[in-house]
Amino acid sequence: MILILGAQGMLGGEFRRTFSRALGWDRAELDLAQAENLEERIRGLGEKVTAVINCAAYNNVDAAEQHKELAFAINAEAVGKIAAVCKKLDVPFLHFSTNYVFDGEKGEYREADQPNPLSIYAQSKFEGEKLLQKNCDKYYLIRTSVLFGHEAQSEFAKKSFIEIMLELSQKTGTIKAVNDEINSLTYVSDLAKTVELLITKKYPYGIYHVVNSGEASWYDLAKEIFSATDKKINLVPVPASEFPRPARRPKRAVLLNTKLPALRSWQAALHEFLKNNRTF
């Protein structure tokens, strides 16, 4: 049995659909900021846990600048505790990190490149990476970027960029989108299938970058969203400086997948998702 933490988020929900026999815990079942009794809880399940997948995170990038302790508690300290428990129980641990651990100066990043986080959020995620590797031997550290997929069920989840753009399109005919921040993009369905491959095929433990092929600015993504949904929007490209935010972002932090089969383009994945999701 696979145990999924953060089961009601966008990513956790996708993993529950992918692994039919998985057990999902969300904040109501286990608050990661206070994950002291995790070992006891796992031992008390009455069934062998074959892997722990941590989909929970504090991912409000800007709010983290004011809530550093909470960001580090969830993104770093809790990860270290889970990793230590997994090592003690001899259970593989799969955890997710972000392209934001890089500063964007190099532009493209391989799995072995050295992080240099710019924001509190990114620093907390990098600290989580370090504690994971320190406290656990059997780990998959998956870095990914700009997730999109089915809406999260958790009340604590933030809205996806797709949701925000389509909501805005119902209120205005002109939308500004940042064109000088470049990221990889990831369809959570493709991500979940890749993770399933990692686990079932028993790939070597370590760091993996899992993203759809290609890269995009927020403007590029918005343009593709409106094209796929046939919305006539006057989309205006603007620099990030037009939307001042508390947290610094890397200008271009594209994740290179050098260890796994390449995923389809983000455009193909996005069109499939929007076509099959009647909510949009």
pTM (2 decimals)? 0.92
pLDDT one-digit tens code per residue, 202-243: 999 999 999 999 999 999 999 999 999 898 999 999 999 998
Residue located via tokens 């610094």: 248
pLDDT bin (cut points 50, 70, 90) of residue 40 is: confident
Give the model's pLDDT for residue 22. Answer: 85
Give the model's pLDDT for residue 33. Answer: 65
Of the CA atoms within 13 Å of residue 80, those in its CB half-sphere come to 12
Please name which of 254, 190, 266 lies closest in space to residue 223, comparing C-alpha atoms. 266
- Asked whether 148 and 266 are in contact (CB, 8 A), the reply is no
pLDDT bin (cut points 50, 70, 90) of residue 198 is: very high
Chain centroid to CA 242: 26
Give the model's pLDDT for residue 42. Answer: 83
Terminus-to-terminus CA distance in the chain, angstroms? 34
pLDDT above 60: residue 111: yes
Range among 12-16, 47-51, 225-229, 255-259 rated most confident: 255-259
pLDDT one-digit tens code per residue, 126-159: 999 999 999 999 999 999 999 998 876 655 566 7
* Distance, CA of 96 to CA of 125 (rounded, Å): 9
* Distance, CA of 126 to CA of 122 (rounded, Å): 6
Query: Per residue, what are the HEC states of the chain?
Result: CEEEECCCCHHHHHHHHHCCCCEEECCCCCCHHHCCCHHHHHHCCCCCCCEEEECCCCCCCCHHHCCHHHHHHHHHHHHHHHHHHHHHHCCCEEEEEEHHHCCCCCEEECCCCCCCCCCHHHHHHHHHHHHHHHHCCCEEEEEECCEECCCCCCCCCCCCHHHHHHHHHCCCCEEEEECCCEEEEEEHHHHHHHHHHHHHCCCCCEEEECCEEEEEEHHHHHHHHHHHCCCCCEEEEECHHHCCCCCCCCCEEEECCCCCCCCCEHHHHHHHHHHHCCCC
pLDDT bin (cut points 50, 70, 90) of residue 279 is: low
Angle between helices 218-228 and 266-276 (to 10 degrees): 40
* Distance, CA of 133 to CA of 115 (rounded, Å): 14
Q: Tell me the backbone φ, ψ of residue 144, rounded to 5 degrees.
A: -145, -175
Which pair of tokens denotes residue 229?
């949904």
Please provide the average confidence, as pLDDT, over all residues in the chain: 90
pLDDT above 60: residue 48: yes
Give the model's pLDDT for residue 160. Answer: 82
What domains does the chain contain, in order, with CATH numbers? 2-147+185-213 (3.40.50.720), 161-183+214-254+264-276 (3.90.25.10)
